[in-house]
Amino acid sequence: MSEGSPIKMKVTEAKTITPETKIDQTQEDLTNSEYEAYLEDLFDLNIPLETSAKTQPEPIIDSVTPINVPLQGIFKHRTLKNFDPFGHQKEEAFNDNVEQMCLITNRLSEMVTETDRDKIRQNLILLLKLCLWSNKQDLSLSMGSTVSSLAVDPVQLVNELNEQILADESTKAIDSIFADLDKINEKNSDPDVKSSDVIFDIVCDNAGYEFFMDLCLAYFLINLTIVNRVRLHVKQIPWYVSDTTPKDVQYVINGCKTASFTKELNLPSSKETEIELKDFKSTQRLLTSTQLNVFGSKCEEYVNNGTILIQSDDYWTSPCVYKNMKTIDPELYEKLQQPVAILFKGDLNYRKLLADRNWVPTTEFEIGLEGFHPAPIIAARTVKCKLICGLTPAALERANRCEHDWMETGEFGQTLSMKIPSKKLQSNKSGIDSICNKISTVCGLLRMRIVVEAPYKRGGFLGVSVRGEKA
């Protein structure tokens, strides 16, 4: 444990988090200068949390992640680098969903034989929604307890949960990707132009069933040659209970390859079910793991030959939000400029995309990103924290009519997308941050909190209005 970097965090009576000592520099850990860059963003002006512009009332990135950072040195130690304190819980969650995975791979085996462009597009939208709702399998939400398995038929679940998606831009996202791919293919058809390597990136969240669905999306994209490669970004070390690590990748693929499952299904014969299954041949009553085994073997082959790349950069387990990536980790930002699109999964990625700020829920997603747009972005998450944007007034009103804690239950979902904005639209991010910090200082003295609201575009600039209200 002595190899870990000791960083003591102090919470004062004013509910302000301050660094008590600097991080010790070790060969396998973050340097002092790197950590100071993180602290500069996290602790600027030493503003009390309840009066800052960041999310209220649970500043998880500010208070939890900086404390977890020193654990990186511990888990990189030779005796602990293969240890995962949440490993058995992840494996149990995976094993509880083998039946659902068999159903999915049966359908997936038919999807990858489709040749009609419109049906391929519809299947891709379906897979994106399956990826969205797989995010409910989050052990951090259940405090580490096993998450109950999904409905017997995940596709049926997606149909039933359509009304629970507060912002659904999955069709917009897929259409945008197809339009960009058409341009790339047209360019690649020119014999005088070197062909582009078409890549799709997924910044993963939870292991188990959710990561299995990420693999399904990758498998579909590769088998239909929609892209040449898929890069899966995972965490280097155990993080937030069920986050995917390289070891989890190996376990899920091997689990799919070696699974043994047989069950007789009682398929209903209603007209409604016939309509749901009309585009699929898999109406057999005996469910087996045959296609799941084929899927696992093929994914293993893709990983071995580099068609699926597993990557785990330091930034994913740092306390830094994504708007600062270009400055703090320019190499990763440059790498993220390569894919045709990036799918960010889950709540923590969503919070980091929005810099953990308390945006008004009807704020446009593009504005909430505050200039972070290395490539077209898709964000898919079930809502599990009091931070949200991209809603219409009608969707917000509908959600508010539900339980008062609807932002924390994971019962609602969001799929948001954003293309790279025009170069004419410049971000006045530094000015916004400066104004917010000054107002935060005043609000702190008056025991008020700052709320960022009323985003607008004017004269080629992004802008926001801010106000203080009683804490």
Query: What is the distance of C-alpha 332 from the center of its chain?
Result: 16
Q: Find the range with the poorest average confidence among 13-17, 269-273, 285-289, 457-461.
A: 13-17
Contacts of 197 (CB under 8 A, 6+ apart): 228, 229, 338
Say if CB 440 and CB 53 are below 8 A apart: yes
Residue of higher predicted confidence among 184 and 57: 184
Q: Taking residues 368-376, what's their average pLDDT?
A: 94
Q: Taking residues 447-465, what's their average pLDDT?
A: 50
Boundaries of every domain in the chain: 9-75, 87-418, 426-470
Q: Give the three-class secondary structure for 457.
A: strand
Q: Give the three-class secondary structure for 253.
A: helix
pLDDT above 90 covers what percent of the chain? 43
pLDDT at 264: 86
- Among residues 315, 322, 50, which one has the least CA distance to residue 17? 50
Q: Taking residues 285-311, what's their average pLDDT?
A: 96
Rounded distance between C-alpha atoms, residue 228 and residue 127, angstroms:
18
Q: Find the range with the poorest average confidence among 200-204, 279-283, 291-295, 438-442.
A: 279-283
Above 60 in pLDDT, residue 419? yes
CATH architecture for the domain at 87-418: 3-Layer(aba) Sandwich (3.40)
pLDDT at 438: 56
pLDDT at 294: 98
pLDDT at 192: 66
Q: Do the bridges between strand 341-345 and strand 199-203 make them parallel or antiparallel, or are there none, so unpaired?
A: parallel
pLDDT at 301: 97
pLDDT at 42: 46
Q: Give the three-class secondary structure for 448.
A: strand
Highest mean predicted confidence (pLDDT) among 94-98, 120-124, 283-287:
120-124
Query: What predicted TM-score, i.e. pTM, was given to this entire model?
Result: 0.75
Q: Find the range with the poorest average confidence among 89-98, 253-262, 319-328, 460-469.
A: 460-469
Above 80 in pLDDT, residue 28? no
Q: Taking residues 179-203, what's their average pLDDT?
A: 84
Given pLDDT bands bounded at 50, 70 and 90, which one contains residue 87? Answer: low
Given pLDDT bands bounded at 50, 70 and 90, which one contains residue 471? Answer: low
pLDDT at 142: 42
pLDDT at 160: 85
Q: Taking residues 318-347, what's their average pLDDT?
A: 94
Residue of higher predicted confidence among 82 and 238: 238
What pLDDT digit, counting tens, does each position of 316-327 carry?
A: 988 889 999 999
- Among residues 197, 136, 200, which one has the least CA distance to residue 174? 200
pLDDT at 24: 36
Rounded distance between C-alpha atoms, residue 234 and residue 249, angstroms:
9
pLDDT at 243: 86
Question: Exposed (0-12), middle (13-18) or buried (19+): which is 309, by Cβ within 10 Å?
Answer: middle
Above 80 in pLDDT, residue 139? no
Across the chain, mean pLDDT equals 75
Given pLDDT bands bounded at 50, 70 and 90, which one contains residue 95? Answer: confident
pLDDT at 446: 54
pLDDT above 70 covers what percent of the chain? 62
CA atoms within 13 A on the CB side of 316: 25
Given pLDDT bands bounded at 50, 70 and 90, which one contains residue 460? Answer: very low
pLDDT at 78: 59
pLDDT at 204: 95
pLDDT at 117: 95
